[in-house]
Structures are given as C-alpha cells and as structure tokens.
Amino acid sequence: MHPDLHSHHSIVIVGGGFAGALTAMKLLDRTEVPLSITILEPREELGRGVAYSTTEAVHLVNGPAATFSLHPEDPDHLVHWLAYNASRYGWTLPADIAASFPPRHLYGSYVRDELSRAIAQARAGSTLRHIRSSASELIAAPHKVRIKTSDGELIEADEVALALGVFQPNPAPQEAPVASHPAFAASPWDAAALDRMMEAGEILLIGSSLSMVDAVASMESRGFRGRYHVISRRGQFIEDRRDAEPARDFLAERPSPTTARALLSIVKTERRALAAAGKDWQGLPVAIRPHILTLWQKAEDVERLRFARHLRAFWDVTAHRAAPDSYRAVTQAIADGRLRHQTARLLAMTPANSLIAATLKTRADVETRSFGGIIDCRGHQLHDWRRISDPFVRSLLDSGEVRPHSTGFGIDATIEGDVISEEGRIHRNISAIGHPLRGVAWESSSITEQRAQAIALADRILGKLTPLALAAS
Ligand SMILES: Cc1cc2nc3c(=O)[nH]c(=O)nc-3n(C[C@H](O)[C@H](O)[C@H](O)COP(=O)(O)OP(=O)(O)OC[C@H]3O[C@@H](n4cnc5c(N)ncnc54)[C@H](O)[C@@H]3O)c2cc1C
C-alpha cells in the first residue's frame, strides 16, 4: 500500500438520522482506504431521527420486514436480525417475521446496531466520531470544506454530506392561541400531551394520513374510550397496506407522460381496468414508484408544481399506506361509531376553559365546536427551504453555497446529489441525501429510496479515492 494511504480521508455527515447513519455505515462497509468520518447530530443515538425515535410500541414501520433490510444484497437481513434480537428488545416474534411490520423504535435499534457493527468491523483503520452538536455554518472551498458547529468547533473535511432530514413548519397562525393549552398536542408523538387527553369526550385530529393512524393507535393503546373527529381538507383518508398483486408495468408500455394531467388520465384508466378485473388498486403504487424519478426529471417545473398542488394529496394516500396492525385501531373505532371523518378546513382555535373551541369550514357551512383534545396530525413536513427558519439552513442559503430548488422543494443538486450553488456551480465535495433532494427526485424520503441513495453516495465518495487521489490530497 502507498504510504500516503495511511492519511485518512475526512468526511463530515451533517445529520445522523436514518440517511446520515446509513451513509456512514455504507462508507465503513465498502471502503478500502482509511476514512475519518464525523457525524454531527444533536440526538443521543444515531440512526433514529424523527421517524424511529418514538418509543410507543404501536407506532409501526409502514412496510413488511422483508422490504426493509439495510443491505439490498441480503434482503433477509432485517428478518434474521429480528429473529435473533427482537425478544432482547421486548418484541414478541410473530409467526411470519418477513410479513410483519415491526415497531419503528425497534427498526431504529436495528439501524443503530448495524452502524455499531460497521464501526467495529471497519476496514483500513477507519473511524467514526459522533459529535452531539448542530452544524451552524458551512464554508466551501475547492479542496476542503469547513463546518462550524453550534458549540463553536471548526471541523475541516474533504467531503461533506447534508443529511438534514425534514423540518417542522412554523406553527400555523391558528395554533398560536392554544400552543400552550393542555388540551393541544402540536404533534402525535408527544406522549405527555396524549396522556392529558385521556378523559376527553371528543378529540379533533387535524389530518387523515399516517400521523393520524399513529395518534389513534396511541390513544387506543392507552384505553381511550372517547370519540375522534378527523378532518382533512381534500377528503382523503389513508388506508391500510394490503398484500395486493402488483399492477402490470403500464407506464413502461408507452412514452412517459410529461404533464400531470396526462399522468392522472393514464393512472385513472389503469385503476378502472383493475377495478373491472376485480383487482385491488393497491397494486398501482408498486408499479408507479419505479418510474417516479424519470417522470419527475422529464417534467417541466410548471407540471411538477401542478402535480404538487393538485395531485399530491391523492398520491400521498395512494403511495403511503398504514401498517395493518396499527390501522386496526382506526377500523375498530370506526366500527364502534367513535371515529368520524369530515372534509373540512380548520379556521381558528380558541381556549374554552379546559376545552378548545375549533372553527371548521366544511363545504356547506362554518361551525364552531369544542373538543377535549386537539392533535395536529399534519405530519410536520416543511420541504420549502425558502420558508425554513432553521439557522443552518438559513446560513447555507445566505452564503449562496446552496440554492433552493426551482420548484421550492428542497435544494438544487445534480441527479447524483452534488449540491449546486446560487451561481450554478456544482460542488464536487458537498452532497445531499434524502429530504433535501425532494425537488430533484420528488420521492426521496422512504427507507428504500434513502437506502439506494446512501449506497450510491458512498460509492461516489469512495470512487474518488484512488490511491493517487488520496496521495495528492
Ligand atoms: C413519523 C415518521 C414515520 C416514518 N415511517 C417510515 C416508514 O415506516 N417507512 C419508510 O420507508 N419511511 C418512513 N418515514 C420516512 C422517513 O423520512 C425516513 O424513513 C427516514 O427516517 C428519513 O431519514 P433522514 O435521515 O432523511 O431524516 P431524519 O431521520 O429525521 O434525520 C435528520 C437528522 O438531521 C439532524 N439535523 C438537522 N439539522 C441539523 C444540523 N444543522 N446539524 C446537525 N444535525 C442536524 C436532525 O437532528 C435529525 O436527527 C417516516 C417518517 C416519519 C416522520
């Protein structure tokens, strides 16, 4: 080995949630040369992020274990890990592990344990350091990138990967009057707030997607016996994930549609054909998903925005379906006459002693009703970087090293994830993974998408590290 190969190539990963931890794992598993990896992540444990930090056993991953191995070349890896480890973490193994939907907290333990395994087995003396701090500033240069932490430390690296996840929107103006009211929960994952609602007669759930399922499953597991009033603006209501036969690859049979309207028309035709054949529409997302990146890439911004404005709500309840076990809490509450869904928009919330009065606009009316609890189940996802108030995001944009994507979703980058500056310069040593690439790829947040991105990113970084390149650095 060339003597210079002993100098470690340094990589800073900003954000140690799922995407950041997985990128580090793939780098450690695949490198032939010594790496010095630093993850900046304020959370105590790496790999969990928002999704896999919840400790409630009824919050489940939204796909079967057979689909969520961290190693696509070993699809049974998660199933085997569960078989050996789940009982250690207090989960009773189901008869069919591959078809089961494990708790998200357990999945986070899987990611964390796999990262520990990768660190222990790291080749070539590679190391991983977790700094429990946030990045506050990035200073780019052609050969080195510097990152300032919120604790004032300055870290220099050959490569930086931005794995920042998704940001919470600022509270809606309607929330301000009740933000500190004991009957209000700004998120369905606030266990203490949910505990306080146990005696409520009726709870208002704002949003009807996966977060609503988490909220109902949490309340039912606590023994709540009151009623739920679920509202959504477009009248969509999430369904559980069924084991549907995948639809045929109908998008491959014709030139790609380039407008949102044309795509909708093709999908509607296919859906009608499935219905006529007595088949489940849930076969559709499996057939559509592999084409999303190409469809998104080929579409003009105006069509992308049309899709986001008019079809996103429909796509979200088509693509994202709930784990059957947690969804059972929803169907049971509906069967008991305790859960009602209404198409309505929340106009205002005001404290009314121990209750909260909510003003709802339905298609026909405006009505004000009091609730013993209100849970914001909108999913807390702000993708528009121009509206994110996080100081690091602001600093990245203000410095001009990063620019918002032209659609407003996430940031501009090449299809591989190399970040593009305000002037249009491609940073070859700053990349992004996951949610920041929403505008580049549209679907960039699920386990399977981020798994593919992490492998590609690790390979791209390692591909630059030929012995000569490393010797020169
Ligand atoms: C509640 C929920 C449930 C989900 N369930 C599923 C599921 O079942 N299946 C599925 O496929 N997908 C699911 N998802 C999608 C999910 O987005 C991904 O699976 C994955 O967790 C996203 O990982 P990430 O690393 O992009 O974001 P995160 O895991 O959220 O990680 C981002 C991290 O960046 C850190 N960070 C942010 N700014 C800074 C900074 N300036 N400095 C340092 N660190 C910073 C944050 O602290 C955070 O930990 C779910 C998402 C949510 C929100």
Cα 36 to Cα 387: distance, rounded to the nearest angstrom: 34
Q: What percent of the chain has pLDDT over 70?
A: 97
Contact in structure between 374 and 178 (CB atoms under 8 Å): yes
Counting ligand 1 atoms within 8 A of each CB, the residue from 447, 453, 457 with the most, and so the one to mutate, is 447
Counting ligand 1 atoms within 8 A of each CB, the residue from 18, 45, 62, 70 with the most, and so the one to mutate, is 18
Which sign, positive or negative, has the C-alpha torsion 335, 349, 190, 195?
negative
pLDDT in tens, 212-229: 999 999 999 999 999 999
Atom of ligand 1 nearest to the CA of 134: 42
What pLDDT score does 7 carry?
67
Contact in structure between 3 and 151 (CB atoms under 8 Å): no
Q: Name the pTM for this structure.
A: 0.93
* 147 CA → ligand 1 middle, Å: 21
Cα 208 to Cα 321: distance, rounded to the nearest angstrom: 11
Mean pLDDT, all residues of the chain? 93
Q: What percent of the chain has pLDDT over 90?
A: 86
What pLDDT score does 149 carry?
97
Residue range 314-337: mean pLDDT, rounded? 94
Atom of ligand 1 nearest to the CA of 165: 27
pLDDT class of 316 with cuts at 50, 70, 90:
confident
* 34 CA → ligand 1 middle, Å: 28
Distances (CA, A) of 174 to 298, 356, 394: 38, 12, 25
What pLDDT score does 143 carry?
85
pLDDT class of 466 with cuts at 50, 70, 90:
low
For residues 26, 28, 33, 35, the Cα torsion angle rounded to the nearest 10 degrees is 110
* 341 CA → ligand 1 middle, Å: 29
Residue range 104-132: mean pLDDT, rounded? 96
Phi-psi region of 205 (alpha: psi -120 to 50; beta: other; left: phi over 0): beta
Residue range 443-460: mean pLDDT, rounded? 96
What pLDDT score does 471 carry?
52
Tokens of 221: 């597991």
- pLDDT at 8 > cutoff 70: yes
Q: How open is the CA angle 214-218-219, to the nearest 5 degrees? A: 120
What pLDDT score does 3 carry?
37
Atom of ligand 1 nearest to the CA of 211: 1
Atom of ligand 1 nearest to the CA of 449: 11
What pLDDT score does 428 carry?
94
* 248 CA → ligand 1 middle, Å: 32
* DSSP string for residues in 250-282: GGGGSPPP-SHHHHHHHHHHHHHHHHHTT--TT
- pLDDT at 337 > cutoff 50: yes
Tokens of 308: 């986001």
Tokens of 422: 């305000």
pLDDT in tens, 134-178: 999 999 987 899 999 999 999 999 999 999 999 988 777 889 999
- pLDDT at 2 > cutoff 60: no
Residue range 192-199: mean pLDDT, rounded? 97
Atom of ligand 1 nearest to the CA of 434: 26
Domains present along the chain, CATH in parentheses: 3-59+103-168+383-472 (3.50.50.60), 173-239+321-376 (3.50.50.60), 250-319 (no CATH)
For residues 358, 362, 364, 365, the Cα torsion angle rounded to the nearest 10 degrees is 10
Question: On the CB side of 460, how many CA atoms lie within 13 Å of its CA?
Answer: 21
Residue range 382-404: mean pLDDT, rounded? 95
pLDDT in tens, 56-94: 999 999 999 999 999 999 999 999 999 999 999 999 999
pLDDT in tens, 339-351: 999 999 999 999 9
Residue range 450-465: mean pLDDT, rounded? 96
pLDDT class of 4 with cuts at 50, 70, 90:
very low
**DSSP conformational letter for 307:** I
Lookup result for tokens 């998200």: 104
- pLDDT at 423 > cutoff 50: yes
Ligand 1: residues with CB < 6 A are 14-20, 40-43, 49-51, 61-63, 134-135, 163-165, 392, 434-435, 445-447, 450
For residues 116, 118, 122, 128, the Cα torsion angle rounded to the nearest 10 degrees is -50
Tokens of 444: 């960039």
What pLDDT score does 26 carry?
98
pLDDT in tens, 13-43: 999 999 999 999 999 999 999 999 999 999 9
